[in-house]
Amino acid sequence: MKQQQKIVWSGADERKRQSKPFDGEKVYDACIIGGGVIGCAIARELSRWQLSLGLLEMRSDVSEGTSKANSAIIHAGYDAKPGSEKARTNVAGNQLFEPLCRELHVPFRRNTSLVVAFSSDGLAGLRELKSRGEINGVDGLSILSQAELRRREPAIGPSAAGALLAETGGICSPYELTIALAAHAVLNGLDLQLNCKVGQIRHDGRWFHLQTSRGPVRCQVLINAAGVYADTIHNQLSRQPIEITPRRGEYWLLDKSVSDAFSATIFQLPTAMGKGILVSPTVDGTMLLGPTAEDIDDKDDVRTTAQRLDEILRVAAKTWPDLPRGQFITSFAGLRAHARQNDFILGEVADCPGLINAAGIESPGLTAAPAIGIELARLAARRLNAPRRSQWQPAWQPPQPFRLMETEQRARAVRDNPAWGRIICRCEQVTEAEIRAAINRPVGAATVDGIKRRTRAGMGRCQASFCTPRVLAILSEELGVSRLELTKFGNGSRILTGRIGETVRSHEPPAADAAAVGLEVSHD
Ligand X SMILES: Cc1cc2nc3c(=O)[nH]c(=O)nc-3n(C[C@H](O)[C@H](O)[C@H](O)COP(=O)(O)OP(=O)(O)OC[C@H]3O[C@@H](n4cnc5c(N)ncnc54)[C@H](O)[C@@H]3O)c2cc1C
Q: Does 282 bind ligand X (CB under 6 A)?
A: no
- Among 35, 77, 281, 398, which residue sits at the site for ligand X (rule: CB under 6 A)? 35
Interface with ligand X in residues 145-174 (CB under 6 A): none
- Among 54, 122, 169, 249, which residue sits at the site for ligand X (rule: CB under 6 A)? 249
Nearer to ligand X, 36 or 460 (CB): 36
Which range touches ligand X (CB under 6 A), out of 34-42, 373-381, 404-412, 430-438? 34-42
Question: Could you tell me where the beta strands, DSSP code E, fall in 53-152?
Answer: 53-56, 73-74, 108-109, 113-117, 141-145
Interface with ligand X in residues 350-369 (CB under 6 A): 361-367
Interface with ligand X in residues 441-480 (CB under 6 A): none
Element holding 316 (H helix, E strand)? helix 306-319
- Helix, coil or strand: residue 371: helix
The least CB distance from residue 318 to ligand X, in Å, is 20
The least CB distance from residue 449 to ligand X, in Å, is 13
What gap in Å lies between CA 471 and CA 144, rounded to an integer? 47
Catalytic residue flag (residue 75): yes
Nearer to ligand X, 162 or 370 (CB): 370
Measured in residues, the chain has a length of 524
The least CB distance from residue 52 to ligand X, in Å, is 18
Closest CA to 474 of 422, 509, 429, 519: 422
Where helices occur in 345-406 by DSSP H, the ranges are 365-384
Q: Which residues contact 484 (CB under 8 A, 6 or more apart)?
A: 494, 496, 497, 498, 499, 513, 520
- Helix, coil or strand: residue 425: strand
Which range touches ligand X (CB under 6 A), out of 16-24, 60-68, 96-104, 157-165? 60-68
The least CB distance from residue 174 to ligand X, in Å, is 6
- Helix, coil or strand: residue 48: coil
The least CB distance from residue 337 to ligand X, in Å, is 6
Q: What is the dihedral of CA 4, 8, 11, 16, to 10 degrees?
A: -120
Please count the other Cβ atoms lying within 10 Å of the Cβ belonging to residue 377: 24
What gap in Å lies between CA 224 and CA 234, rounded to an integer? 7
- Helix, coil or strand: residue 130: helix
The least CB distance from residue 362 to ligand X, in Å, is 5
Nearer to ligand X, 71 or 168 (CB): 71
Q: Does 375 bind ligand X (CB under 6 A)?
A: no
- Give yes or no for a contact between 317 and 221, defined as CB atoms under 8 angstroms apart: no
**Binding string to ligand X for residues 75 to 114, with x set by CB under 6 A, is what?**
x---------------------------------------
Tell me, what DSSP letter sits at residue 396? P
Q: Does 291 bind ligand X (CB under 6 A)?
A: yes
Chain centroid, CA 190 distance in Å: 19
Q: Does 54 bind ligand X (CB under 6 A)?
A: no
Which range touches ligand X (CB under 6 A), out of 220-228, 413-421, 433-441, 489-497? 220-228
Question: Could you tell me where the beta strands, DSSP code E, fall in 23-160?
Answer: 26-33, 53-56, 73-74, 108-109, 113-117, 141-145
Say which of 75, 184, 234, 338 is annotated catalytic. 75
Phi, psi of 481 (to 5 degrees): -130, 160
Three-state DSSP string of 94-113? HHHHHHHHHHHCCCEECCCE
The least CB distance from residue 201 to ligand X, in Å, is 9
> Which residues on neighbouring strands pair with residue 192, listed in sequence order?
55
- Closest residue to ligand X, judged by C-beta, is 365
Q: Does 70 bind ligand X (CB under 6 A)?
A: yes
Interface with ligand X in residues 223-242 (CB under 6 A): 225-227, 229
Q: Does 71 bind ligand X (CB under 6 A)?
A: yes
Number of residues that bind ligand X (CB under 6 A): 38
Q: Does 197 bind ligand X (CB under 6 A)?
A: yes
> Which residues on neighbouring strands pair with residue 32, listed in sequence order?
55, 223
- Among 32, 58, 116, 149, which residue sits at the site for ligand X (rule: CB under 6 A)? 58
The least CB distance from residue 33 to ligand X, in Å, is 5
- The amino acid sitting at 148 is E
The least CB distance from residue 335 to ligand X, in Å, is 5
- Helix, coil or strand: residue 471: helix
Which range touches ligand X (CB under 6 A), out of 317-325, 328-336, 390-398, 467-475? 328-336
Q: Does 373 bind ligand X (CB under 6 A)?
A: no
- Helix, coil or strand: residue 351: coil
- Among 308, 336, 338, 441, which residue sits at the site for ligand X (rule: CB under 6 A)? 336
- Give yes or no for a contact between 271 and 119, defined as CB atoms under 8 angstroms apart: no
Nearer to ligand X, 334 or 354 (CB): 334
Residues labelled as active-site residues: 75
The residues of the shown chain that bind ligand X, judged by CB under 6 A, are 33-39, 56-59, 64-67, 70-73, 75, 197-198, 225-227, 229, 249, 291, 334-336, 361-367
